Each structure stands twice: as structure tokens, then as C-alpha cells.
Structure 1
Amino acid sequence: MSVQERKRRERAERERLIVATARELAEREGWDAVTTRRLAERIEYSQPVLYSHFRGKREIIGAVALQGATELAAAVRAATAAVHGPRARVAALAHAYLDFAARNPAVYDAIFQLDGGLAYAQEDTPEPLKDAFAALLESLGKVAGDGVAPELFTEVFWACLHGVATLTRSGRLPPKETEHRVELLVNRLAIT
């Protein structure tokens, strides 16, 4: 292994450590607790080393968002692959999405609430974000109904799921009714 290869590998490992540490800290204490000083202390590198990887907290949030989008896409695909029939797949998708949001609130915020400096729904949208939307579209596009663009239907269904996730987490919707909300959403919107 060349010196350059070793340095690239070490740099990638430091980046993974920074992102993992930021994510862990945010999940435990919230994003306000994630500071470059605190991260540098936790990973036992100086702040200049941290800044050599990320220009600041915004880029770290973006890195967590990209990692989370990849995980969300995988969770949705795994859930929908395990069931048959378009409506059952949509229900599985909804549950996987809401479960991901509930289990990973800081990551969910990084993807959908916080400014990580990422472009959404544009030409330069990073691939993990495009793939997360594609994972939703794969199941939702099949139940959009005649005359409805699958992408538009997916956006509306996703917006509903996002509303349920954020309103439930904030205590504005009681969690015990989540199953009924999913059932209503699937029954009213998913045309087969």
C-alpha cells in the first residue's frame, strides 16, 4: 500500500469518526450540543483537523443527512420487499418511514429539517437524497392512480408521512393513533 493510499484511508476513517460522533451526540443531546469544539474533544483531534474535513457544523449536518438518506432508502426497500401487493407495500413503506423517523430523530432532522447545505429536488441534488426519494417512488408510483404523475403523488404522500412523523414527535399528535393514521392515509390515497 502506498503512502497516499494509507493517507486517503486514514482521512476517510477520520471523516467517518467525525460523522458518527456528531450523530451520536445529536441523537443523545440534540443538535445544539454538537459543536466543533466538542467534536474535536470527543474524537481527540484538534479543531483544525476537524476543519480540514468539514468547514463547520453545517457540512457535518449535511454528511449525517446523506448517511441517513442512504439508511432510510435501505429501510424502505427492505420493508417493501418483504410484502406482496401494492397497498401492502405502501403500508409497509409508511411504517418503515415512520419507524426510521422515530428511531433516529436527529438524523431525520438532519435530512429534512436542518440546513446541511444540500440541494433538494434540483439537478445537483446528492445521489443519496435522490435515491431516498426513488425508494419511495418505487412503491408509491404504482398506486398514484390514473392521470396523477407518480412523482407528484410520491411528494404528497411523503409530505403526509413527514407531517405525521414531526407532529407525533413534537407531541401534537398522540402516538397511539399512528396505526389509524397510516391506515387512513393508505386507504384514501393509494389507488390500486
Structure 2
Amino acid sequence: MPRSAQDIERIRERELRIVRAARDIAEQEGWQAVTVRRLADAIGFSQPILYRHFPRGRDEIVEHVVIDGYTELLAAISAGGEGLPALVTAYLAFARENPAVYYAMTTARTGIVFAADETPELLRQGFAMFERAVGGETPQERAVRAELLWSTLHGVSRFAADGRLDAALDDVRDGEIVRLFSAPASGS
């Protein structure tokens, strides 16, 4: 029997509440505190209801957090304006403001595939933003430059989150990243 629009909306709302609760617990207490039992208690649902929405349990919920995180990151980059400086600023700000979500996006083991035919379109779009920002004469050069920029931003984000970088140097550091990855002049 087909579900009504109200049923579909109720299901979607429950799923959003579950994912939001996972994010909130992770941001406050870390990912080790995010369990199906804890989520059920936090939102007032039984564990079987959570498993009905997310049959693979916590792993599937984390994957939803990861996809939501990339959606928000790409929106922040897009809203920040065009070009490499805006991308660098938006990326680092997102990582700083959403440490647990960023950790899940970049470190959690998930079934989400990167750099392959199965990569979700959202992630392909994000990588394309990096490629456009860094430029390059060939697709291979753009891809490598984008990977290196992403790796650099990830390293800076993780070191900053762990208190291993001088926050007073953030603007200078951002400027140096932009300088390092500015697109080379054609033919140079």
C-alpha cells in the first residue's frame, strides 16, 4: 500500500531528528557517545524505530551525517563567493565551526566511495569546485592540484582542531595556501 504524503513527511521528519541528534551528541561528547541506544533515548523513540529508519544502525546514520556535512560545506563554499580565497576561507571556517561533523566527513569509515565511478554526484560537484579554484592545463593536473589543496586544507583543519597551530596566524596561513595553489599562468 502506497504511503500518504503525510506518512512520507513524518518519516522524513523522524530521520532528520535522528541525524540531528547524532550530530548534536557528537559535537558535545564525541562520536564514541553516539550509539543507537543513546539516540533513541535522546529523541524518545525506541531502538526498533531507529533501525526501521536506518537498518544498518549507527553506520548508516553516520553516512547521513557525512552527506549532510558535505551538502552544508558545498553550500558554504558557494555562498562565500568565487575563487580560491573564498573556497579556502569557507572550508576552514566550516571545519572549525563543525568539528565533529567534519571529523565524520573526513575520517569516519563509511560506505561512501570517493574518487571512483560510484562517488555520489554531490561529492563530484564539490571536487569540481576545487578543480575550478586551482586550475591547471589538463584534467589530470587539475585533479592532482585539487587533491593537494583538499589534503592541505584537511591537514590545517585537523592541526587547528587539535590546538597545534597558532590561531593568530590564521589569516596569514590562509593567504599562503591561496598563494601556493593559485592557478599557474597558461603555458608556464
Normalising by the residue count of structure 2, what TM-score does the alignment of the two structures yield? 0.89
CA distance in 2, matches of 1:185, 1:158: 11
CA distance in 1, matches of 2:25, 2:81: 31
Is the 1:75–1:96 Cα contact (8 Å) retained in structure 2? yes
Is the 2:134–2:181 Cα contact (8 Å) retained in structure 1? no
| Amino acid paired to 1:188 | L
In the TM superposition, residue 80 of structure 1 has moved relative to its aligned partner by 2.3
RMSD: 1.9
In the TM superposition, residue 40 of structure 1 has moved relative to its aligned partner by 0.4
CA distance in 2, matches of 1:147, 1:43: 47
Task: List structure 1 runs of 4+ shifted beyond 4 angstroms.
Answer: 145-148
CA distance in 1, matches of 2:110, 2:153: 21
Which has the higher mean CA deviation after the structures are superposed, 113-122 or 162-171? Answer: 113-122
Indicate how the Cα distance of structure 1 residues 70 and 147 shifts in structure 2: closer, same or farther if over 3 A, else same: closer
CA distance in 2, matches of 1:39, 1:25: 8
How many residue pairs get matched?
182
Question: Which runs of 5 or more structure 2 residues have no equivalent in the other structure?
Answer: none
In the TM superposition, residue 146 of structure 1 has moved relative to its aligned partner by 7.5
| Amino acid paired to 2:11 | R
Is the 1:80–1:139 Cα contact (8 Å) retained in structure 2? no
1:94 aligns with 2:95: no
Is the 1:30–1:106 Cα contact (8 Å) retained in structure 2? yes
Is the 1:27–1:104 Cα contact (8 Å) retained in structure 2? yes
Is the 1:70–1:128 Cα contact (8 Å) retained in structure 2? yes
Is the 1:26–1:34 Cα contact (8 Å) retained in structure 2? yes
CA distance in 2, matches of 1:97, 1:3: 39
1:115 aligns with 2:109: yes
Normalising by the residue count of structure 1, what TM-score does the alignment of the two structures yield? 0.87
Residues 129-155 of structure 1: per-residue CA shift (max 9 Å, x gap): 2222223223223xx368962121111
Which has the higher mean CA deviation after the structures are superposed, 126-135 or 68-77? Answer: 126-135
